[in-house]
Structure 1
Amino acid sequence: MVFMPFLLKTNYRTLKTKKMSSIIQLLPDHVANQIAAGEVVQRPASVVKELLENAVDAKATDIKLVLKDAGKSLVQVIDNGIGMNVTDARLCFERHATSKIRQAEDLFSLHTKGFRGEALASIAAIAHVEMKTRQEQEELGNHIVIEGSKFVSQEPAVLPKGTSFSVKNLFYNIPARRNFLKSDTVELRHVIDEFQRVALAHPNIYFTMYHNGSEAFNLPNSNVRQRIVNIFSGKTNEKLVPIQEETDILSIQGFVGKPEFAKKNKGEQFFFVNDRYIKSGYLHHAVMSAYEGLLPAGSQPSYFIYLQVPPHTIDINIHPTKTEIKFDDEQALYAILRATIKHSLGQFNVAPVLDFDRDPNLDTPYAFQNKAAEYPTIQVDRSYNPFSDEKKERSGSTKNHYPKTESASSWESLYVGLKQEAFDIAPFEVENEEVTASLFEDEPTEQSVTKTYQIQKKYIVSPIKSGMVIIDQNRAHERILYEQFLKNMTVQHASSQQLLFPLHLFFTRNEIHLLAELQAVLHSIGFIFEGFESDAVHISGIPAHTSESEIPPLLEQLMRDLSEGIPENSFSLNDSIAKSMAKSLAVKNGVYLSEKDQENIVNNLFACKEPNTTPFQKNTFITMRVEDIDKKFAL
């Protein structure tokens, strides 16, 4: 009996140990599918990408994409591919069920888009999915309905050849994920990006896209150049320079943009490897290196580059979205791509080519193409004697061709006055740098106390009672313009300057749609739009104190800043637009400012409500007290 408590305590510890060892448990399938959906499906655009790629793998020649509420309510993809039988239609919704690979080695010899087999299972776990499919040789197809990984029904039905996937109410069972979705405009832009990538990779397929009942894209099957033009507007055709190269390592085809059409954003930049869209900072650097010396600072060229490489030389399975690839020999690809683009830019006279062996004297004008050669005539004045003392008159035939010669005896007269005339040089002035103002004055006056100075064309120094203020001219002007734009948009309309000739600016369809939505807000700033077309906008009025040359980069910067997220309420939208325009129009560092401009910046800055920081929460100025300066000299 003495040992009973010890035995009971030992048994309790044993039971406690056994209970703690079973903390790790296998997740149910529906929970595992929802976790996998977090990697595969981030937004409606992810669903669009997976379904479009499945339709391409099904060898479809006609693919339709139908959306409602930017894909939040409905994403439907209809294709005329090979379809699926009864077994495959049910099995495709199981995790890691795929027809693309049979063993691990197949991952390095892929010729299709999807291959992991987790896409449909993940989509079915977070939405209501309806699939209709029929093979060509079958009389009846299959109609399957799934809600949150649960099979609701499966029955035969009379269907057309191909497959139709309908994904409704995305994230209906995960409200937290649905709350993270952006506005319809932002989500639609992401869907359009995915649609364009698949459409550019397969120009031989007919693609159409509908959003809320209206047609957004109609892309008939064509070649690569025509597909690019159909997507990005007709003005794109004159911007493209073709590139082509065949090597043992890879094959390069596609188009690059001319330097004069470069933009500030990276919107029209596409790499395709074996007809798969990828992102590669390494290859992008190769393209930028080929444009070295041709682009303004901060500009980005457009390019549509298609690479064909042996499948065993790349690894696709390194990222859940399959947009990143590892190459076997990246350095060789870099060098070949850079040389190919550089050669094309020079071949089409886009880049200057220096040929030191060319003799410009041998260039023949086109006007001389059919002109006969003229033989030169030689005439000799036999009566000419340089040592004769008398002036001789030329014969009638020769004096028409030769001027009179001076007597040889007067040759000394050629040097008369040479000493004086040769060195009689008129006084000349040496060009000096104009000094507009003196940094220090001999006697201090009241005006000199309040004077401002510009340092390195970047900072404005203004004295104050306790020391001095050093102002960043770019940041200060950003704060001034930001508050002015906000005031114009919320309190009163800004003044607009009418243009004698309206501006005609070309943009993509997505950008035109965005500008049309922002028309009312931009009108309050000073913009006046005459009309919108499918690929162009006409502007007859611009904000006061703004030049015409500033408008195209201003609108590009505005759309780029708003592309990541357009706020739902109008105040946040006004704030975003005011920040973007202030950033674009603010005076840049490196620009010389007159004393009057410097004083205006100083006075307007300290008249702002929040002069201490920029709209992006950066300091606009710093102060240095006399005590701080004294400490520097005390060291």
Structure 2
Amino acid sequence: MTYLAWQRIIAFDKLRLTDMAGIQHPVSFLPSLPNFHEIRLLKKGAILPDIIQLLPDNIANQIAAGEVIQRPASAVKELLENAVDAGADEIKLIISDAGKALIQVVDNGKGMSDTDARMAFERHATSKIRNIDDLFRIKTMGFRGEALASIAAVAQVELKTKRAEDEAGTFIEIENSQVKSQEPVAMHTGTSIAMKNLFFNVPARRNFLKSNPSELKHIVDEFIRVAMSFPEIFFSLTSNGQQVFHLEKGSLKQRIVQILGNTYNARLVSVQEQTDYLDIIGFVGKPETAKKTRGDQYFFVNNRFIKSAYLNHAVMKAFDEMIGKDSYPMYALFISLDPAQVDINVHPTKQEIKFEDERIVYAFVESAVKHALAQFSITPTLDFDLDASIQNLDAVSKPFTEEKKSSASTSSLFNSFTKSHQAHFIENKSELKHWKDFYEKEAPVDPEFRPLTAGLEIETETHQPLHAPLLHAQYISENLMQLHNAYIVVQNDKGYLLVNQQNAHERILYERFTQAVAGKPIAVQQSLFPVSIDLTAADAVLLTELIPDLQQLGFMLEPFGNNSFVVQGTPADVSQGNEKNALEKMLEQYKHFSTDLKFSKREKLFRSLALQQSIKAGTSLSQKEMTALLTDLFACNTPNSTPNGKPTYMSFKKDELDKMFGR
């Protein structure tokens, strides 16, 4: 008897079991059945009841909302896209408590009738789809009719909407998928939809939301993606009464600069390719704008933001050998093609799509970016948006006179490069004494050559800090030598140590930060003249979240409104005038760690600051500085490695050296 037959046993008497097929089995048969406790037994003649039922609408909508509305930012995306589809050219987003208390979108679009306003909250109610063929000709942002139904299932919703031809608008109040009231209302043409108390009826979901700054960052990301797609629409974002974005209508370049900051104004390369299959327009950042994180990377297909590692690889390949392997270029690229060539209905968020032929799209993207970069490299053009203060400089505005030409041609530097047998004099010039360091390459290694260190035991100390004599500053200072401005050689009674100065300083800073949070203050230098820094909205949100921890680490800063901050003081080892650069690099490094879920927010901050502020290779150190570095290193709790596990030093044993030379 099969398992399915066991499940179908429906009746029993004193000694026998009867299954659905009418076959009788002895009662002793029951214990021998696997999972016999799952068998439903009824008295003889009873009818097995049906157990499959339709879920109530409010429960079904809550389940659907789990896919569509995962966090406040998900609702923001859906509501903004609905406003775009309504034909609005002015869209305002208002949020409170990072969207947990309020998300409101106000637009001046075409509005809805009272019947349509009521129908919009039904599941799969849509004005975009009439038959199956329409699904393959989608040109709007929304089309499945899930958003409003899902939002109404997990929030308290108030909708006001009016068409131009109607005398009055419609007001609808919905809670837990139930319409509480519907009545006329006086208002301008357009729609205002407010969702309050997100997940009020699903407290477990609400408890899984992150901190307010973290949720706000996700909202800003979604806002940017929609706003960048439609530069011809005015967008604004207000959070807790403070305006975060005010984006006037304009060109795509203007919108990118408005969002990502003025630093990109003269650093964008136009991409524009038109083919019979698809069109690609947009901008990529010049190679010098590449960062250590993927933050400023945007792909749009038919004006819809998408995530595609495949197409990102195409852009990276176009930048090959122009940026470092660990750097990521900025780009905002818009691909337009026949909707029939792409399936956007493969993921609930519609951010993952499928092309009919990905290889063709990949090839076009790579080619378009390469072509743009080639044009930039060969024929750079003047940027007429260049800062007026730069255009007024003498070097730009005044002619290169004969007097100036004569003065330049008689300089020692000019003669060194233009006259025969003069190049060797360059090394005598103090300002150029290190020129060889940048251009000389290491000699090729002979594959048959066996270095003297072959067979030498190299070990990383993983036990206790070094022995007592090495901790004595006088002992260290008498045996220090710097190699390649990157390593420190120090002798001990067992041999010698090779210390990586950057890794060592990274460990020192990391432990200093952890001790500061534990109560050991860091020395702070107050700025004589406070410095103000301006950040992009996304970075401003991130920095706001980090301010409490940064203040414990010696950064005295506070918000100054409109994505600006005032720096009153910094840790003593941050040089004056370098405050803005230090904070910007710290934020980039922090975002580099942000994808690693095993790190807490504070841990990521410690590691980011330690890596960013550590002494870099190429820095020349005095005997006093090397002594201080080693003294601090071997006072650490874990002196042998960086926070990321890289060794700070390696030990070479004297007896192994003796063996190599036959001693």
TM-score when scaled to structure 2?
0.69
Distance in 1 between residues matched to 2:508 and 2:514, nearest whole Å: 10
- Cα–Cα, structure 1 residues 8 and 268, in superposed 2: closer, same or farther, change >3 Å? closer
Shift of 1:159: 3.1
Partner of 2:196: 168
Say if 2:44 is the partner of 1:16: no
- Cα–Cα, structure 1 residues 350 and 240, in superposed 2: closer, same or farther, change >3 Å? farther
The code of the aligned residue for 1:84 comes to M
Partner of 2:419: none
Partner of 1:388: none
- Answer yes or no: is the 8 Å Cα contact 1:181–1:187 preserved in 2: yes
The code of the aligned residue for 2:279 comes to S
Partner of 1:324: 352
Say if 2:34 is the partner of 1:6: no
Partner of 2:62: 34
Q: 1:491 aligns with which of 520, 545, 548?
A: 520
SS in structure 2 of the partner of residue 64 of structure 1: strand
The code of the aligned residue for 1:56 comes to V
The code of the aligned residue for 1:5 comes to K
Partner of 2:83: 55
- Cα–Cα, structure 1 residues 318 and 548, in superposed 2: closer, same or farther, change >3 Å? farther
- Cα–Cα, structure 1 residues 344 and 573, in superposed 2: closer, same or farther, change >3 Å? closer
Partner of 2:279: 251
Partner of 1:406: none
Partner of 1:121: 149
Q: For each residue in 1:308-342, what CA deviation from the matched residue of structure 2 results, as whole angstroms up to 9, or x when unmatched? A: 11111111111111111212222222222222222
- Answer yes or no: is the 8 Å Cα contact 1:78–1:164 preserved in 2: yes
Partner of 1:376: none
324-333 vs 542-551, which moves further:
542-551
Shift of 1:604: 2.6
SS in structure 1 of the partner of residue 15 of structure 2: helix
Distance in 1 between residues matched to 2:165 and 2:573, nearest whole Å: 70
CA RMSD of aligned residues (A): 4.6
Aligned residues: 539
Say if 2:136 is the partner of 1:108: yes
605-614 vs 197-206, which moves further:
605-614
Partner of 1:140: 168
The code of the aligned residue for 2:521 comes to Q
- Cα–Cα, structure 1 residues 176 and 616, in superposed 2: closer, same or farther, change >3 Å? farther
Partner of 2:384: none
Distance in 2 between residues matched to 1:452 and 1:23, nearest whole Å: 81
Percent identical residues: 47
Q: For each residue in 1:57-91, what CA deviation from the matched residue of structure 2 results, as whole angstroms up to 9, or x when unmatched? A: 11112211111112110001111222222332222
The code of the aligned residue for 2:203 comes to P
- Cα–Cα, structure 1 residues 618 and 145, in superposed 2: closer, same or farther, change >3 Å? farther
Say if 2:106 is the partner of 1:78: yes
The code of the aligned residue for 2:523 comes to A
Distance in 1 between residues matched to 2:647 and 2:339, nearest whole Å: 52
Q: 1:155 aligns with which of 183, 187, 190?
A: 183
SS in structure 1 of the partner of residue 266 of structure 2: helix
SS in structure 1 of the partner of residue 191 of structure 2: strand
Shift of 1:202: 0.9
The code of the aligned residue for 1:240 comes to L
- Answer yes or no: is the 8 Å Cα contact 1:486–1:574 preserved in 2: no
- Cα–Cα, structure 1 residues 519 and 143, in superposed 2: closer, same or farther, change >3 Å? closer
Partner of 2:365: 337
- Answer yes or no: is the 8 Å Cα contact 1:186–1:564 preserved in 2: no
Partner of 2:459: none
Instruction: Map 1:111-510 to 2 at 5 A.
Output: 111-349=139-377, 475-488=503-516, 490-496=519-525, 507-510=535-538
Shift of 1:211: 1.6
Shift of 1:476: 4.4
Partner of 1:92: 120
Distance in 2 between residues matched to 1:615 and 1:64, nearest whole Å: 44
- Answer yes or no: is the 8 Å Cα contact 1:294–1:351 preserved in 2: no
Distance in 2 between residues matched to 1:574 and 1:7, nearest whole Å: 68
Select the structure of larger CA radius of gyration.
Answer: 1
Q: What residue ranges of structure 2 are gaps of 5+ in the alignment?
A: 1-11, 19-23, 31-38, 382-398, 401-435, 441-451, 457-468, 595-599, 658-663
The code of the aligned residue for 2:113 comes to N
- Cα–Cα, structure 1 residues 472 and 123, in superposed 2: closer, same or farther, change >3 Å? farther
- Cα–Cα, structure 1 residues 329 and 456, in superposed 2: closer, same or farther, change >3 Å? farther
Q: For each residue in 1:176-215, what CA deviation from the matched residue of structure 2 results, as whole angstroms up to 9, or x when unmatched? A: 2111222222211211111111111111112122222222
Distance in 2 between residues matched to 1:301 and 1:319, nearest whole Å: 27
Partner of 2:4: none
Distance in 2 between residues matched to 1:152 and 1:564, nearest whole Å: 47
Distance in 2 between residues matched to 1:352 and 1:54, nearest whole Å: 41
The code of the aligned residue for 2:14 comes to P
Distance in 1 between residues matched to 2:548 and 2:57, nearest whole Å: 50
Distance in 1 between residues matched to 2:526 and 2:187, nearest whole Å: 60
SS in structure 1 of the partner of residue 284 of structure 2: strand
- Cα–Cα, structure 1 residues 530 and 186, in superposed 2: closer, same or farther, change >3 Å? closer
Shift of 1:617: 7.2
- Cα–Cα, structure 1 residues 249 and 479, in superposed 2: closer, same or farther, change >3 Å? same
- Cα–Cα, structure 1 residues 115 and 628, in superposed 2: closer, same or farther, change >3 Å? farther
607-616 vs 88-97, which moves further:
607-616
Shift of 1:253: 1.1
Instruction: Map 1:608-623 to 2 at 5 A.
Output: 608-611=636-639, 614-615=642-643
Shift of 1:43: 1.3
546-555 vs 25-34, which moves further:
546-555
- Cα–Cα, structure 1 residues 518 and 8, in superposed 2: closer, same or farther, change >3 Å? closer
Distance in 2 between residues matched to 1:27 and 1:20, nearest whole Å: 21
Shift of 1:300: 2.1
- Cα–Cα, structure 1 residues 32 and 502, in superposed 2: closer, same or farther, change >3 Å? same
Shift of 1:124: 0.8
- Cα–Cα, structure 1 residues 104 and 603, in superposed 2: closer, same or farther, change >3 Å? farther
Q: For each residue in 1:97-155, what CA deviation from the matched residue of structure 2 results, as whole angstroms up to 9, or x when unmatched? A: 22222233322211011122211111111110111122222223221111111221222
The code of the aligned residue for 2:269 comes to V
SS in structure 2 of the partner of residue 5 of structure 1: coil
Distance in 1 between residues matched to 2:577 and 2:91, nearest whole Å: 42
SS in structure 1 of the partner of residue 122 of structure 2: coil
Shift of 1:611: 4.4
The code of the aligned residue for 1:334 comes to Y
SS in structure 2 of the partner of residue 604 of structure 1: helix
SS in structure 2 of the partner of residue 481 of structure 1: helix
- Answer yes or no: is the 8 Å Cα contact 2:314–2:362 preserved in 1: yes
